[in-house]
Amino acid sequence: MKTFNTIKVDDLDIFYREMGDTSKPTMLLLHGFPSASHMFRDLMPALADRYHLIAPDFPGFGQSSAPSRDEFGYTFDHLTEVITDFLTALHLDRFYMYVFDYGAPIGFRIAMQHPDWIAGIISQNGNVYQEGLGEKWATRQDFWDHPTPEKRDTYRTAFEPKTIIGQYTFGTEPHKVSPDGYMLDIAYTQTPGYADRQLDLIFDYQNNIKMYPQFQAYLRAQQPKLLAVWGKNDPSFIYPGAEAFKRDDPNTRVELVDSGHFALETHATIIAAMIKDYFD
């Protein structure tokens, strides 16, 4: 049975989904933008026979607290601190880690800081290589190098319904993506202060890219068992980013599926089978 829980962490209410027998190996599921833990709604039941699953919503996302940007610094370092404290509060110190999109720089920060916590990694369109950056990142680099209020405002289009629907459906077969996920994400964009806190994270994303060499050094040093499964039609994080893991971690298996950025929307059952096969 899946449960829906909230725990107080750093004076924030952190919402999380939990499923599976606590005596089985734990898997931490870290979501991406503009989503929350509901993106794992199909994957969790498919893995619950093998794993104890924990999927939190980051601060500012989903059902977790979303303080104003005046009260909370929306940076990836800060989100990592909260999720690390969340793990400590739940007494989780050994787990497999599934990272996607924003979840990757958060998860890899945790792995760098606590390598003994990591039993294995699944990176699903969770990029840590320059080779994995699609064309859109060139314009973001200009924003990062020469920020102006006007450039910042242009990124408000990232929260428009058509943009979010496109993130879910681009690169997928017609009529294969349920509207449930993207309609919930669109609803969250209407909450107070959403755009401003997300724009802060878009600006801070540059620091994730600057940390890529550190993430790669972690992989070379620790060589965790890693499954890089990628929606190969993703225009944001392109599939050479999956192949690049093999350069630093010989314990990497790469699987490309015929989907886009949100590959779980179309391939959750297939990805679950890949995870069970590789980490058996």
Q: Which of 52, 78, 261, 267 is catalytic?
A: 261
Could you give the CA distance from residue 140 to residue 162 in angstroms, rounded to a whole number? 20
Kindly tell me if the per-residue pLDDT of 115 is higher than 90.
Answer: yes
DSSP string for 167-223: HHHTTS-TT-S-HHHHHHHHHHHTSTTHHHHHHHHHHHHHHHHHTHHHHHHHHHHH-
φ, ψ (nearest 5 deg) of residue 226: -135, 130
In the predicted model, what is the mean pLDDT of residues 138-161?
A: 95
Could you give the CA distance from residue 64 to residue 9 in angstroms, rounded to a whole number? 10
Rounded to the nearest integer, the mean pLDDT of the chain is: 97
Side chain identity, residue 233: N
* pLDDT value of position 136: 87
* pLDDT value of position 45: 98
Selection from 14, 255, 18, 33 nearest residue 158 by Cα: 33
pLDDT digit string (tens) for 195-204?
999 999 999 9
pLDDT digit string (tens) for 5-27?
999 999 999 999 999 999 999 99
In the predicted model, what is the mean pLDDT of residues 29-57?
A: 98
Topology (CATH level 3) of domain 3-278: Rossmann fold (3.40.50)
Side chain identity, residue 147: P
First to last CA, the chain: 23
* pLDDT value of position 47: 98
Kindly tell me if the per-residue pLDDT of 274 is higher than 90.
Answer: yes
Q: How confident is the model at residue 1 (pLDDT cuts 50, 70, 90)?
A: confident
DSSP 3-state of 258: coil
Tokens of 256: 């490309």
Could you give the CA distance from residue 241 to residue 239 in angstroms, rounded to a whole number? 5
Tokens of 244: 């690049």
- State the DSSP H helix or E strand holding residue 30, giving kind and residue range, or none if neither: strand 26-30
Assess whether 261 carries a catalytic annotation. Answer: yes
In the predicted model, what is the mean pLDDT of residues 79-85?
A: 98
**DSSP label at 58?**
P
Q: What is the CA radius of gyration of the chain?
A: 17
Instruction: Tell how strand 26-30 and strand 52-56 pair up.
Output: parallel
**DSSP label at 37?**
G
In the predicted model, what is the mean pLDDT of residues 51-74?
A: 98
φ, ψ (nearest 5 deg) of residue 133: -90, 120
Kindly tell me if the per-residue pLDDT of 161 is higher than 90.
Answer: yes
φ, ψ (nearest 5 deg) of residue 196: -65, -40
Side chain identity, residue 117: W
Could you give the CA distance from residue 16 to residue 68 in angstroms, rounded to a whole number? 21
Q: Where are the domains of the chain?
A: 3-278
Could you give the CA distance from residue 273 to residue 109 in angstroms, rounded to a whole number? 27
**DSSP label at 51?**
-
Kindly tell me if the per-residue pLDDT of 145 is higher than 90.
Answer: yes
CB atoms within 10 A of CB 152: 15
Kindly tell me if the per-residue pLDDT of 280 is higher than 90.
Answer: no
In the predicted model, what is the mean pLDDT of residues 139-167?
A: 95
* 140: Cβ contacts below 8 Å, ≥ 6 apart: 202, 205, 206
Burial (0-12, 13-18, 19+ Cβ within 10 Å), 236: buried
